[in-house]
A = this chain, B = another copy of it.
């Protein structure tokens, strides 16, 4: 399972950046820095983490770099959640069946 997307989502500022970009892509690091209480370099580090996870893509436009949301990797997270949920549900069913067949004694 692809790790970097989970790491990317762990930080609240990065999640906020994703929501922001979902609504207002594309934006430059400088524009984003103006909206947040941290410096452009700080924003840039977060954007790099997001880019490594494939959650944003960059597009050069003259001298500026515009960042846009690319939400595909979120599917990996969704798939992981579905997998573990399914595993759990199946387990519960087996447990239930077991209990119903074997009238417990403790």
Contact = CB atoms under 8 A, between A and B. Distances in A.
Interface string A1-19: 1010011011010010011
Nearest to A77: B81
Interface of A: 1, 3, 6-7, 9-10, 12, 15, 18-19, 22-23, 25, 69, 71, 74, 77-78, 80-81, 84-85, 87-88, 91
24 contacts: A1-B15, A3-B12, A6-B9, A6-B10, A6-B15, A7-B10, A9-B9, A9-B10, A9-B77, A18-B84, A19-B84, A19-B87, A22-B84, A22-B87, A22-B88, A22-B91, A23-B91, A69-B88, A71-B84, A71-B88, A77-B77, A77-B81, A78-B78, A78-B81
A63 to B, nearest CB: 17
Copies of this chain present? 2
A56 to B, nearest CB: 12
Contacts of A71: 84-85, 88
